[in-house]
């Protein structure tokens, strides 16, 4: 049961915002913020009103049912209405509970995705490359803009590490459950005996932070420049264009050397650093709010094994929700990615609803 007071707050808040929006004294910045909140409340206003009127309607219908002087047709109609009322109440209660769940402000942000080869040598780097291609295909299908920030290739076309930004609608809410260890089981091309090998890659998805989200003081940064050691042409390797930025308070370090320009490398490095600091602070706040991590789908920790891609059996299994899709080929093509995401989000909502009811 949702406390009636919480539902009444929705209706009263809606009225308050309506009055504020009709005021000629409101500034543009505040108007945009209030308009968004007002629009969100509009979506559940009718549901909230129906929920509040339930007791009165329930009482009236039961009165008709128990009134022996009422004709049978009237009582039959009242029974049908009462059944419908109870059914709608359960539906409306769930919708209201979902609306009242604490909102993650990061859900609407763009994201930075970091993929690194883990255990498994060359095969791990090939799998890291396959994962990156999968996210590229998902981005193309959803018309998201994926931009490379840095890339480090291995032999045979694999990837040691790749970092990219993804821009579009509600990116982080769609990708946030991808953080963790992704494990692959398949026969490598170099395997002559046909044996299945297990290797892994780590994925980290960070909400992309703007300058307004994270204020970084110059005094908190140590910036070192050095000569790039990776591929990129003669001019890259003969100038001190690579940048290493250390955020002293948190100890977070970012290195960037993909660009020939030291300034561009610094810009890209600060972009990654800002998002890592933002995520670092979010994690601290999250842990302070809830010490019980077992109810969460995943902590986003890169050491947590979250998914297995089994090529011989053509299946992908998410261990956090025990969901197996026997559509591995389609999944790697980005075809059924939403099916996994929808199930992860649904599970997360159900767990949060349980916590709300405690």
pLDDT in tens, 267-294: 888 888 988 888 888 777 666 545 443 4
Out of 64, 80, 100, a domain closes at: 100
Q: Provide CB contacts within 8 A for 351, sequence distance 6+.
A: 295, 296, 297
Asked whether 271 and 243 are in contact (CB, 8 A), the reply is no
Boundary (domain end) residue, out of 259, 287, 315: 287
276 within 8 A of 297, measured Cβ to Cβ = no
CA distance 11 to 49: 7
Per the CB < 8 A criterion, the answer to whether 323 and 340 are in contact is: yes
Spatial CB neighbours of 117, under 8 Å, sequence gap ≥ 6: 124, 125, 127, 128, 154, 158, 159, 160, 161, 201
Domain containing residue 248: 218-287
Q: Is position 294 within any domain?
A: no
121 and 23 both lie in a single domain: no
Q: What are phi and psi of 273, to 5 degrees?
A: -60, -45
CA angle 298, 299, 305 (to 5 degrees): 60
> How many domains does one find in the chain?
3
| Mean pLDDT of the 43-56 span | 90
| % residues pLDDT > 70 (the chain) | 89
Same domain, 116 and 245: no
Question: Among 190-194, 261-265, 340-344, which range has the highest average pLDDT?
Answer: 340-344
Pair 150, 250 in one domain: no
pLDDT of residue 218: 85
Q: Give dist(CA 85, CA 90) in Å, integer.
A: 9
- The CB density around residue 139, as the number of other CB atoms within 10 Å, is 21
Q: What is the CATH number of the domain that holds 241?
A: 3.30.160.20
Q: Does the pLDDT at position 24 exceed 50?
A: yes
- In angstroms, the CA 229 to CA 245 distance is 17
């Amino acid at each position: 049961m949702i406390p009636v007071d919480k539902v009444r707050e929705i209706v009263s808040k809606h009225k308050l915002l309506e009055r504020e929006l009709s005021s000629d004294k409101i500034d543009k910045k505040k108007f945009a913020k209030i308009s968004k909140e007002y629009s969100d409340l509009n979506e559940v206003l009718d549901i909230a009103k129906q929920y509040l009127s339930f007791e009165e309607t329930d009482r009236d219908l039961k009165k008709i049912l128990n009134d022996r002087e009422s004709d049978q047709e009237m009582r039959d109609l009242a029974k049908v209405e009462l059944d419908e009322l109870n059914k709608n109440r359960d539906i409306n209660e769930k919708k209201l509970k979902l609306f009242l769940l604490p909102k993650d402000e990061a859900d609407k942000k763009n994201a930075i995705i970091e993929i690194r080869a883990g255990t498994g040598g060359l095969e791990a780097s090939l799998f890291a490359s396959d994962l990156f291609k999968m996210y590229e295909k998902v981005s193309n299908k959803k018309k998201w803009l994926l931009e490379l920030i840095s890339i480090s290739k291995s032999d045979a076309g694999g990837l040691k590490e790749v970092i990219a930004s993804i821009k579009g609608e509600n990116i982080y809410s769609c990708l946030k459950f991808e953080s963790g260890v992704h494990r692959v089981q398949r026969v490598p091309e170099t395997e002559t005996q046909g044996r299945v090998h297990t290797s892994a890659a780590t994925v980290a998805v960070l909400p992309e932070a703007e300058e307004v989200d994270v204020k970084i003081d110059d005094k908190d940064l140590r910036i070192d420049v050095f000569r790039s050691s990776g591929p990129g042409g003669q001019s890259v390797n003969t100038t001190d264009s690579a940048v290493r930025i250390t955020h002293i308070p948190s100890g977070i370090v970012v290195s960037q050397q993909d660009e020939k320009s030291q300034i561009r490398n610094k810009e890209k490095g600060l972009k990654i650093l800002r998002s890592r600091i933002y995520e670092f602070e979010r994690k601290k706040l999250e842990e302070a709010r809830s010490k019980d991590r077992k109810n969460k789908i995943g902590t986003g920790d890169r050491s947590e094994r979250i998914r297995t891609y089994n090529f011989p059996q053509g299946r992908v299994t998410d261990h956090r929700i025990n969901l197996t899709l026997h559509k591995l080929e389609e999944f790697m093509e980005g075809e059924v990615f939403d099916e996994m995401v929808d199930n992860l989000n649904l599970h997360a909502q159900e767990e949060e609803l349980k916590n709300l009811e405690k």
